[in-house]
Amino acid sequence: MHTLTATLIAAGFLAAAPLSADMIRVSNHVGNMIADMEAEETMMNEQGDLETLRFEPWQMLGEMFQRDDVVYLMRHGPTDWSNLDVKNVAPEDCENQRVMSEAGKQDMQNLGRILADNGILPGAIVVSEWCRNQQTLENLMAGFEAAEPGITDGIPVETSEDLNLLLSLQGAPDVSDLRERISNWSGSGGKGPLLLISHFTNVEELTQFTVYEGEVLVLDPKRDNRVLGYFRLSSAKPDIGHFQN
């Protein structure tokens, strides 16, 4: 057992089953999580740096990654902003909506690999009907499988209009159903948290947090859906659609 992991267990941050790969404390509040050493050569980002998962706050490490009764509320992965949604496009019309970039697909595979290498898998997944969300799921699952073939077997996956983009054709009218899903989650019998893959507007409306593409907020249904923290790839950056004018 790593000295770091043993220290965290003694401090009450982690459950008995330790995270499998190394973690680095960047500051008093921020930490980085890396994939298994065997994956390093394939885990380089576009800048040529080793891809890591950035999470905050460090003090909530155990609650964020060692509980299956929390909810991971995620915005879809990085997209190609040169091809915007056609007005009133249907959720399944991939030819006429903004979809994931090739780099974004690789990012989501990297995210899945890092999580799986650290023993972090969802116990259930619910995803928006939109193409970019379905692509996010597909690539996350590929990342999980890269860590261990067959590891995703038995994870229930549901596509739901409850998570569809707000104020769009066939979109969710509000976040009441999304909020109810989160509030009603009580765990999966030790199999992992609930992962919800939705959109910027939905996440902001529900939590008042603005999130990057591919960013995940960790919510606690036992504390009135309080945001415990976040995690995202260290290479994640603001998108031009919601963060730049």
Decide: helix, strand or coil at residue 139.
helix
Q: What are 126-177's pLDDT values in tens digits?
A: 999 999 999 999 999 999 999 999 999 999 999 999 999 987 767 788 899 9
Supply 70's token pair.
């929390």
Q: Does residue 70 surpass a pLDDT of 70? A: yes
Q: What are 85-95's pLDDT values in tens digits?
A: 998 899 999 99
Identify which has the larger pLDDT, 44 or 57: 57
Identify which has the larger pLDDT, 5 or 44: 44
Closest CA to 62 of 147, 102, 119, 136: 119
- Bridge partners of 105? none
Q: Does residue 11 surpass a pLDDT of 50? A: no
- Average pLDDT for the chain: 88
Q: Given the DSSP bridges, would you call strands 157-159 and 31-33 parallel, antiparallel or unpaired? A: unpaired
C-alpha 191/C-alpha 155 separation (Å) is 9
